[in-house]
C-alpha cells in the first residue's frame, strides 16, 4: 500500500496446497539474526559482516525460548544453576550448540568447500538485497526460479476517477480540397482526438456524387495514431481526372474498430481550392459568395464531431455604406450637442465660454456701440491699433464683441 492509502496489492497462490519445492519449514524452524552494534565495533564482530546470507536457521529443539535448558541457543544462568552436580561439571559443559559455535561450523565448512548446515544461504538463493518492507514490517525474501502461479488482487480508491475510453470520440475540424491539378486531387482532413487516451483513426472518402473516376474508389483509407487532445492532418490523394465540374463526397472518421465517429460533407470543384472550416459549409475559391461562411445546421455540426450549440454569428447586420453614414450622423450629432452645451454655459454661467471661437464667424475687427459688460457699460469704448475694442483699464482684448 502506498503512503496515502489509495491502492493496495495482494498476492495469493492459486492453489493453497502448492507443490513448490522449499527447504524451509517455518513452522518448526527459527531464524536467528545477530544484534546490531555500533559501526565502529562491527570489525570486532565478524558474525555481522556476512549479512543475511549468514543468518542462522535452527530447529525448534535447538533453541531454548525461556533460556532454562543447557546446550541450546539462548541459554541463560538459570540453566547453569539447574544442572545436577553443577559444581563438578567441567567449564563450558552447558554451552554447546551456541550461535557462535554454529556460525564457526558453517564458516569452516565453506573454507573446506563443503555445504554448511545452518546458514540461510544453505536453504535457498539469497538475493543481494533480501530485506523488504511492507508498511512498518520487515521480512526476508529468497529467490525462487520454479513455476508458481499466483493471483494479484488490486484495490484502488476510485472515488474521483473516471473511466478513460479509447477511440470513442473525434472531430473533423477542417477539410481542404486541392483540385487545381487536373490529374490528381488532394483532400486534406484535419482531425482532432478529443478523447483522453491515444487512439488510432481512419479517414475514409465515400458516397461521392454524381460520378467519380475508377481510381477514386481505391486507397481512400488513411490510418494514423493521434495523442489525446492533439491534431493531425490526413491526406487522401485521388488519381484521375474529374468527370464533372463539381463532386460532393463525405469524409468519414472511424476508430480502429471501423466505427464511425464523425463525418463531414465536402465539395470538390474542378481546378479550384475548397475550404470546409469549423462550423461553416464548404466554400470554394471563385464562387459566387467567395469564401463567406455559411453555417451548418445543428445536426451537421454535431455529426462533424463538435458539441454544444453553433457559434454566434460575428458578421454585422449592416453594410459598409450604412456603417459610414451612421458614423457621420453620430459625429454630427455629437458636435451639435457640444455646441448646445457651450451656448448654455455662456448664457448661464461663463460668458467667455460662450464667446470662445465666435470671432472666427464674424468679420472683425468691428466697432461696438458700448461695452457689453455690466461694470463697463457706461464707460467710453477704447480701441487698440488693430481696431479691436479693448478693456479700458488693462488695454487687453478681453471684452465681449457681441451682446
From first to last of its 403 residues, what are the pLDDT tens digits of the chain? 455 666 777 777 666 555 555 667 878 899 888 888 787 777 778 888 888 899 999 998 888 888 788 888 888 888 777 777 777 777 778 888 888 899 999 999 999 999 999 998 888 888 888 888 887 888 888 887 777 777 888 887 777 777 888 999 999 999 999 999 999 999 999 999 999 999 999 999 988 888 777 767 665 789 999 999 999 999 999 988 888 899 999 999 999 999 999 999 999 999 999 999 999 999 999 888 888 899 999 999 999 999 999 987 655 556 678 889 999 999 999 999 988 888 788 777 776 676 676 666 665 677 888 888 888 988 999 988 878 888 999 988 888 777 7
Q: Are residues 181 and 286 in the same domain?
A: yes
**Rounded to the nearest 5°, which phi and psi values hold at 86?**
-60, -30
- How buried is residue 251: exposed, middle or buried, by Cβ count under 10 Å (0-12/13-18/19+)? buried
**Separation CA 313–CA 296 (nearest Å):** 12
Residue 68 falls within a domain, yes or no? yes
DSSP lists the bridge partners of residue 140 as: 131
Q: Are residues 190 and 74 in the same domain?
A: no
Give the list of residues 6+ apart from residue 352 with CB closer than 8 angstroms, or none.
346
Residue 337 falls within a domain, yes or no? no
**Separation CA 26–CA 57 (nearest Å):** 10
Strand intervals (E) in 117-214: 131-134, 137-140, 150-156, 171-178, 184-192, 199-209
CB-CB contact of 131 with 52 (8 Å): yes
Residue 139 falls within a domain, yes or no? yes
* CA 98 to mean position of chain CA atoms: 63
How many Å is the maximal CA-CA distance in the chain? 158
Last residue of a domain, one of 281, 303, 325: 303
Q: Are residues 92 and 134 in the same domain?
A: yes
CATH number of the structural domain spanning residue 291: 2.60.40.10
CA torsion, points 314, 319, 321, 327, in degrees to nearest 10? -40
CB-CB contact of 97 with 71 (8 Å): yes
Helix (H, G, I), strand (E, B) or coil at 226: strand
Residue 90 falls within a domain, yes or no? yes
**Separation CA 130–CA 143 (nearest Å):** 9
**Separation CA 362–CA 31 (nearest Å):** 121
Q: Are residues 197 and 150 in the same domain?
A: no
Q: Are residues 248 and 126 in the same domain?
A: no
Which residue from 258, 263, 282 is spatially nearest to 207, judged by alpha carbons? Answer: 263
Residue 59 falls within a domain, yes or no? yes
**Separation CA 222–CA 234 (nearest Å):** 7
Residue 229: the pLDDT is 94
Q: Are residues 237 and 289 in the same domain?
A: yes
Q: Are residues 297 and 210 in the same domain?
A: yes
Q: Are residues 214 and 136 in the same domain?
A: no
Q: Are residues 213 and 236 in the same domain?
A: yes
Residues belonging to the chain: 403
Residue 365 structural domain? 357-403
Residue 254 falls within a domain, yes or no? yes
Residue 314 falls within a domain, yes or no? no
**Separation CA 188–CA 274 (nearest Å):** 10
What Å distances lie between residue 133 and 27, 121, 138, 267, 386, CA to CA?
22, 20, 4, 66, 109
* CA 43 to mean position of chain CA atoms: 54
Last residue of a domain, one of 156, 179, 212: 156
Q: Are residues 149 and 91 in the same domain?
A: yes
What Å distances lie between residue 147 and 11, 254, 306, 337, 347, CA to CA?
15, 44, 53, 98, 110
**Separation CA 130–CA 142 (nearest Å):** 7
DSSP label of 322 = H
Provide the domain count of the chain.
3
Give the list of residues 6+ apart from residue 289 with CB closer than 8 angstroms, or none.
283
* Number of other CB atoms surrounding residue 277 within 10 Å: 15
Tell me the three cell numbers of residue 87. Answer: 559444581
Give the CA angle between residues 212, 213, 215 to the nearest 5°.
120
CB-CB contact of 365 with 358 (8 Å): no
Residue 389 falls within a domain, yes or no? yes
Q: Are residues 73 and 119 in the same domain?
A: yes
Give the CA angle between residues 305, 307, 310 to the nearest 5°.
105
Q: Are residues 136 and 198 in the same domain?
A: no
CB-CB contact of 260 with 252 (8 Å): yes
Give the CA angle between residues 46, 97, 57 to the nearest 5°.
70
Helix (H, G, I), strand (E, B) or coil at 263: strand
**Rounded to the nearest 5°, which phi and psi values hold at 339?**
-65, -40
Last residue of a domain, one of 131, 156, 181: 156
Amino acid at each position: 500500500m502506498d503512503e496515502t492509502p489509495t491502492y493496495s496489492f495482494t498476492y495469493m497462490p492459486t492453489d493453497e496446497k502448492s507443490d513448490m519445492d522449499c527447504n524451509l519449514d517455518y513452522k518448526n524452524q527459527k531464524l536467528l539474526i545477530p544484534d546490531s552494534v555500533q559501526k565502529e565495533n562491527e570489525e570486532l564482530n565478524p558474525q555481522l559482516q556476512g549479512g543475511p546470507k549468514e543468518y542462522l536457521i535452527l530447529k525448534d529443539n535447538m533453541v531454548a525460548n525461556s533460556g532454562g535448558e543447557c546446550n541450546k541457543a539462548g541459554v541463560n544462568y538459570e540453566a547453569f544453576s539447574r544442572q545436577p552436580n553443577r559444581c563438578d561439571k567441567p567449564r563450558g559443559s552447558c554451552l554447546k550448540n551456541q550461535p557462535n559455535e554454529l556460525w564457526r561450523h558453517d564458516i569452516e565448512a565453506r573454507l573446506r568447500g563443503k555445504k554448511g548446515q545452518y546458514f540461510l544461504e544453505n536453504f535457498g538463493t539469497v538475493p543481494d538485497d533480501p530485506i523488504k518492507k511492507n508498511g512498518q514490517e520487515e521480512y526476508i525474501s529468497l529467490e525462487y526460479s520454479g513455476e508458481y502461479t499466483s493471483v494479484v488482487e488490486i484495490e484502488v480508491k476510485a472515488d474521483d476517477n473516471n473511466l478513460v475510453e479509447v477511440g470513442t470520440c473525434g472531430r473533423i475540424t477542417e477539410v481542404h480540397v486541392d483540385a487545381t491539378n487536373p490529374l490528381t486531387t488532394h483532400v486534406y482532413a484535419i482531425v482532432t482526438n478529443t478523447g483522453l487516451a491515444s487512439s488510432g483513426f481512419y479517414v475514409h472518402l465515400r458516397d461521392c456524387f454524381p460520378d467519380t473516376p475508377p481510381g477514386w474508389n481505391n486507397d481512400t483509407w488513411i490510418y494514423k495514431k493521434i495523442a489525446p487532445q492533439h491534431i493531425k492532418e490526413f491526406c487522401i490523394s485521388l488519381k484521375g481526372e474529374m468527370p464533372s465540374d463539381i463532386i460532393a463526397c463525405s469524409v468519414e472518421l472511424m476508430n480502429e474498430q471501423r466505427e464511425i465517429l464523425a463525418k463531414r460533407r465536402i465539395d470538390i470543384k474542378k481546378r479550384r481550392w475548397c475550404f470546409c472550416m469549423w462550423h461553416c459549409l464548404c466554400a470554394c475559391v471563385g464562387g459566387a459568395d467567395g469564401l463567406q461562411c455559411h453555417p451548418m445546421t445543428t445536426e451537421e455540426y454535431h455529426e462533424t464531431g463538435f458539441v454544444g450549440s453553433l457559434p454566434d454569428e460575428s458578421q454585422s447586420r449592416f453594410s459598409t455604406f450604412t456603417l459610414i453614414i451612421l458614423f457621420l450622423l453620430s459625429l454630427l450629432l455629437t458636435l451639435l450637442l457640444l455646441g448646445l452645451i457651450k451656448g448654455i454655459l455662456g448664457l448661464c454661467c461663463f460668458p467667455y465660454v460662450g464667446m470662445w471661437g465666435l470671432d472666427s464667424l464674424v468679420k472683425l475687427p468691428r466697432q461696438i456701440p458700448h461695452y457689453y459688460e455690466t461694470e463697463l457699460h457706461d464707460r467710453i469704448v477704447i480701441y487698440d491699433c488693430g481696431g479691436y475694442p479693448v478693456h479700458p483699464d488693462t488695454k487687453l482684448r478681453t471684452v465681449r464683441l457681441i451682446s
